[in-house]
A and B are shown apart, each in its own frame.
Chain A
Amino acid sequence: MVEISKDFIKKFQAEKNKKDFEIIFNFYAPKIKSLLIRNGAEFTLAEDIMHDTMINIWDKIHMYNPQKGSFSSWIYTIARNNRIDLLRKKSSQPYTDISEIDIPSDNENSQEIVERKSLTEQVQNAINLLPDKQKKVIELSFKNDMTQDEIATELNVPIGTVKSRMRLAYQKMKDNLKDITS
């Protein structure tokens, strides 16, 4: 499989050809579909929502800015928004796409820009370093789309404990990644 490197994404943003997009599709589509099925979509609906997500990625690819985050986190936010809009069949979108409304943000110092593949790996490593209880609440939130209440019920702990584990997990993640994120 061809690696989805920063250069590859840059080339695709410039040329936007269907042959290159097939590589992006082959890497992310099966993962997005898997996430949708875990969150309750049946096979055919998951395939449909995945297609809609990939169309959004194609349409918005010019908005991806590697200085703001990894390509995977950008894909994740698009997939998340599509999942909320389509899987939950909501009548309107609670998530405004900040990149679409183009609100200026602090400029990132060029020294803070890191290799995104490295960032994704380091985030994975940081998650793996979390204590099991903290890792579990993060996984249930991100992978299983569970609310804090649902996590509390699943783990049979008070909601305050769920919140506290989330905060601790985030703080540890942030500490572990402080050399590469500001």
Chain B
Amino acid sequence: MKNCPDLATIISYSSGALSKSFALLVSSHIEKCDHCRRNIDRCCEMGGSFLDAEENTALENNSYALFLDKLEESKNTERQLSVKDTFDKSSEVPVSLQRHIGRDLSSLKWSFLAPGIKKCSVKIDEKENKHLTFLKIKSKKKIPEHSHLGSELTLVLKGSFDDENGRYMAGDIADHDHTSRHEPVVTSDEDCVCVIATDGPLIFNSLIANIFQSIARI
């Protein structure tokens, strides 16, 4: 992969401290990025080292016996289908996202957002009201210039786009925070489909773009 998440994002992912929407996009990216997986492996070595050095908290008196009972019980209950059996690795949808949107991007329910741009919002956490925003953008179309109040991760699923930092192809991640300002433009001949996770609203730099934002709610 050419464009990977920031190292700080990788560290937070490894420690389990990323929000669900961000973690899903990083999980999707690392399915095809050996570089990031190696970085995560190194970070998890840090986690393992902290675990080794962790103090011991007293367990219940019969803790191991209770564990064995639960183990037997779990063997008797029907196990969930394994990921291997239910997901399609050859799909353009990363395995990590298939749990939420299925195997086929065409199954998403797209709605009109702006000329040349369609949107689909997928709720990934009922309790926390977290969602991912999928955008399908026509070739050569531009997203108005914007900056961010919080962080934004954009994972390309299909096609490609360019911004001030370079070209993003399928599998690449654009990792932006409040210091970045960009104006992505689709460069592929086919539509570009990407999925966005944000923890703060985007700040558009023109009136028309602000109208776009009020409709897009991203």
Mark A residues whose CB is within 8 Å of B: 18, 22, 25-26, 28-35, 37, 46-47, 50-52, 54-55, 58-59, 68-77, 79-81, 83-84, 89-98, 100-103, 105-106, 119-120, 123-124, 127, 138-139, 141-143, 145-150, 159-160, 162-164, 166-167, 169-171, 173-174, 177, 181-182
Closest to B13 in A: A95
B206 close to chain A: CB less than 8 A: no
Residues of B near any A CB (own CB < 8 A): 6-8, 10-12, 14-21, 23-24, 27, 30-32, 34, 37-39, 41-60, 63-64, 66-68, 70-71, 74, 82-84, 87, 89, 95-96, 99-100, 124-128, 177-179, 199
B interface SS class? helix
The 10 closest A-B pairs by CB, nearest first: A73-B48, A72-B48, A30-B56, A94-B23, A163-B8, A76-B47, A31-B54, A34-B57, A123-B49, A166-B8
In whole angstroms, what is the CA distance A164 to B52 when docked? 26
A28-B51, A105-B37, A141-B11 known; A96+B83 contact, CB < 8 A? yes
A44-B20 Cα distance, complex, nearest whole Å: 25
Question: Given A76, A102, A149, which contacts B51 in the complex, CB threshold below 8 Å?
Answer: A76
Q: Is the CB of B99 within 8 A of A92?
A: yes
Question: Are A147 and B18 in contact, with the CB atoms below 8 A?
Answer: yes
Q: Are B48 and A101 in contact (CB under 8 A)?
A: no
Contacts A/B (CB < 8 Å), 25 sampled: A22-B64, A25-B67, A28-B51, A30-B57, A31-B57, A34-B56, A34-B57, A72-B51, A75-B48, A76-B51, A77-B47, A91-B126, A95-B16, A101-B89, A124-B49, A141-B15, A142-B46, A145-B16, A148-B17, A149-B199, A163-B177, A167-B6, A170-B7, A170-B10, A170-B39
User: Chain B: which residue is nearest A34 at the CB level?
Assistant: B57
**With the chains together, A95 CA to B95 CA distance in Å?**
11
Q: Which residues on the B side are within 8 Å of A37 (C-beta)? A: 57
Known contacts A25-B67, A159-B177, A69 near B51 by CB under 8 Å: no
